[in-house]
Structure 1
């Protein structure tokens, strides 16, 4: 199986197109995932069109075309709960001058991502094993990233508590979501007040192939965060702000 390129769809949906090199890197990543997936269940999304839309298009759509991101600078980013490497790996491929940390608590997944980094020769990506609630308190990671990425792992207020401790003041968090209810926006606003952040943009898309609803939520860290956040492992999910 090979990935479709869908250059016209990239252009129409995001006003952006990958280069030939990027397409080749994505294809290599896809083949690596298919190979490993036989031994370890990394992702259920392996059919080429599904993989393209749910892993590649979705990853890139969250960070393209934003006037508050300094694309040419060497941004330091973290992908929290990266799983099989999304959205971090596709983004690392298109922005080789960014430094991207891929964080996951499952050692098996991190070991596999290390194999991908080797196969793709991606020197701008590093891996971290651990829980966001713990790593967010480590001095070398706390308040040291320009950009945080998190795919839906719970309520938006929970995602905000995971992501904001990693960001520098002025840093941007990107929350990848499917549907977004009004009540969730209210709870996010309440959480951000406690965490020292503000909501700057919500972008709604229909995915180009299946027309599924997608939201990308952008928050900015406005002040230094209280030492109590993130709370202990499991607490943010059990008791959302």
Structure 2
């Protein structure tokens, strides 16, 4: 018996002004099945219930790229996106299913996870995708990747200022970093402000919202790159997390 994801068209519509096509719904369903299979070998996610998976992995991934409940307009026209620390493929895989015209790089430091993601991309026939086994501190200093992306997604691991140091060096001027968070406190805004000032960014907005099924509070932080990031950032591997800006 296959676990079926809910098809909650009206919630998609109310919250994101969008709904998946039949093909996209089928891709979401297959993604879910592949994650359940992969979970047996790799510890990918604790979220396996269909409703919870829909909300915390699919809906949450897409809510991040829809500030004010509308998808970022440039996603439709070949925007270059990087998902830093993609893990089991979130938010990156739902984003590429939803916006197949953008080019997305799924990056993680764990080779096994990237191998698994490559299998998903093949199974779901998702083309416009690249994978990368590396760390944000390394690629942020690499000429091939630095200042190369329009949008950087990071489902926040660690402190927001660390996420800023991972994302902003990779963005083109005018690019947008999206930091996915659970809770958010005012003192985090102050610390983040200090970090983005040093990294060539500004805090464009901090959105607080409620998830549609479990009604839990989430936040997304949007950073805009307004100046070149100084060459010393990102600092060497491990330093941003040990000594946040």
Unaligned runs of 5+ in 1: none
Structure 1 counterpart SS, 2:132: strand
Unaligned runs of 5+ in 2: none
| Match of residue 79, structure 2, among 75, 92, 105 | 75
Give, in angstroms, the shift of residue 68 of structure 1. Answer: 6.1
2:172 is aligned with 1:179: no
2:156 is aligned with 1:158: no
Structure 1 counterpart SS, 2:195: helix
1:109-188 equivalent positions in 2, closer than 5 A = 109-188=113-192
**Structure 1 runs (4+) greater than 6 angstroms displaced:** none
Structure 2 counterpart SS, 1:71: helix
Residue 68 to residue 43, structure 1, CA distance change in 2 (3 Å): closer
**Structure 1 length as normaliser, TM-score?**
0.97
Aligned length: 241
- What's the CA shift string for 1:179-237, capped at 9, x where partnerless? 11000000111101000000111111100111111111111011111111000111111
Distance 2:101 2:188 in 1: 34
Distance 1:86 1:74 in 2: 20
Distance 1:169 1:129 in 2: 25
Give, in angstroms, the shift of residue 46 of structure 1. Answer: 0.9
Distance 1:158 1:29 in 2: 30
Give, in angstroms, the shift of residue 66 of structure 1. Answer: 4.8
Structure 1 counterpart of 2:52: 50
Give, in angstroms, the shift of residue 67 of structure 1. Answer: 7.8
2:212 is aligned with 1:240: no
**Alignment RMSD (CA, Å):** 1.1
Distance 2:72 2:173 in 1: 14
